[in-house]
Amino acid sequence: MSPTIKVEELRKSYGELRAVDGVSFDVQPGEFFGILGPNGAGKTTTLEMMEGLRKPDSGSVTLFGESPWPRNPRLLPRIGVQLQASAFFERLTAREQIRTFASLYGVSARKADEWLAVVGLEDMAGKRNEDLSGGQQQRLSIACALAHGPDLVFLDEPTSGLDPQARRNLWDVLRDISAQGRTVVLTTHYLDEAESLCDRVAIMDHGRILESGPPATLVRDLDAPTRISVETGTITAEAARGLADGLEVSDDGVSLTIATRAPAPVLSALAERDALRGLSVRGATLEDVFLHLTGREYRA
């Protein structure tokens, strides 16, 4: 089966800055694909070239076997785009907003209204955009991107700035979109989001892809230690170090944490000492992979 998206040696520079520097990957039909990276990694620039909003300096992008640049009218009905910052028409209700977007593609008002129900905004249809919460506005933005029934959907940080409840609610919407057989490309700063939603991810930094694959595979290949935590005072750090050879032990005054690649004997030894109060066991996550590849320094 031919890929829905094929990106080959894509490059884009702004003066001396190489925003995208030789990126290659493909996205298969029906796949939920994530592009991850710190600020300035080149995620949005890559996405904009895929959407046909920005011209590459070199390399190629094809969607459904066709180039999106220069602006390709044949592709427009097949793709939906939700940008980082969405601008709605002033003083229109949610229903009027989505009907306006749908009318640009010749989609009926009835069909447009159905998308409000899909994203959980049926009860908010009569409210103006400015009266919607941040999460509701993001859901409306996604509904507008989907109003014409595209086969391929681009989502650029759709949950940025939302509270945890609104983020989780939106995750359910995105899962439903993917379950309908649509191909979805997502950029996000939230590693738990990518781990939960994406079939495959590509981790970018400094304009290059450092690693790609299914989240579970990337986590497994990291070979990171398991972290076992118990409540501080349950066992001393000295006693914890004596449970097995080569343990890393830290105590922040709230939890004592033991890092080990052989958790079973450590857990058994803690149980024998009745030292399991406040127990939590944490394996590696996609966040550990991300930090391993990109570093831990903060980037504004």
> 300 in a domain, yes or no?
no
> 162 in a domain, yes or no?
yes
Alpha-carbon 197 to chain mean position: 7
Closest CA to 294 of 185, 194, 197, 211: 211
Buried b (16+ CB within 10 A) or exposed e, 108-119: eeeebbbbbebb
> 73 in a domain, yes or no?
yes
Alpha-carbon 138 to chain mean position: 15
> 90 in a domain, yes or no?
yes
Range of the domain at 18: 5-219
Q: Other CB atoms closer than 10 Å to residue 107's CB: what's the count?
A: 19
Write the DSSP assignment of 209-245 as a string of letters.
EEEEE-HHHHHHHH-PPEEEEEETTSS-HHHHHTTST
Helix (H, G, I), strand (E, B) or coil at 114: helix
> 274 in a domain, yes or no?
yes
Residues 41, 111: one domain? yes
Residue 121: CB partners within 8 Å, gap ≥ 6?
A: 94, 136, 139, 140, 143
Residues 109, 136: one domain? yes
CB distance 77 to 63 below 8 Å = no
Residues 139, 211: one domain? yes
103, two tokens: 């009318």
The pLDDT, as a whole number, for residue 300 is 52
Residues 205, 252: one domain? no
CATH number of the domain to which 241 belongs: 3.30.70
The pLDDT, as a whole number, for residue 223 is 83
Residues 229, 143: one domain? no
220, two tokens: 């497994």
Q: Which of residues 165, 188, 219 is at a domain's end? A: 219
Residues 17, 159: one domain? yes
Backbone angles phi, psi at 120, to 5 degrees: 75, 30
Q: Which of residues 219, 236, 259 is at a domain's end? A: 219
The pLDDT, as a whole number, for residue 163 is 82
N- to C-terminal Cα separation, the chain: 41
Residues 66, 162: one domain? yes
Residues 158, 9: one domain? yes
pLDDT in tens, 204-251: 999 999 999 999 999 999 888 999 999 999 999 999 999 999 999 999
> 42 in a domain, yes or no?
yes
Which residues partner with 183 through β-bridges? 152
147, two tokens: 């109003």
Alpha-carbon 153 to chain mean position: 13
CA distance 100 to 243: 66
What are 251-254's contacts with CB under 8 Å, separation 24+?
none
Domain count, the chain: 2
Residues 180, 252: one domain? no
> 295 in a domain, yes or no?
no
Ranges of the chain with pLDDT below 50: none
pLDDT in tens, 36-52: 998 889 999 999 999 99
Q: How far is CA 239 from CA 120, 251, 262, in A?
A: 53, 12, 17
Residues 243, 174: one domain? no
Q: Which of residues 187, 204, 219 is at a domain's end? A: 219
> 290 in a domain, yes or no?
no
Q: Which residue has the tokens 């759709």?
A: 158
Q: How far is CA 251 from CA 228, 231, 239, in A?
A: 12, 9, 12
Residues 230, 207: one domain? no
CATH number of the domain to which 161 belongs: 3.40.50.300
Residues 146, 86: one domain? yes
What is the sign of the dihedral through the CA atoms of 13, 19, 22 and 28?
Answer: negative
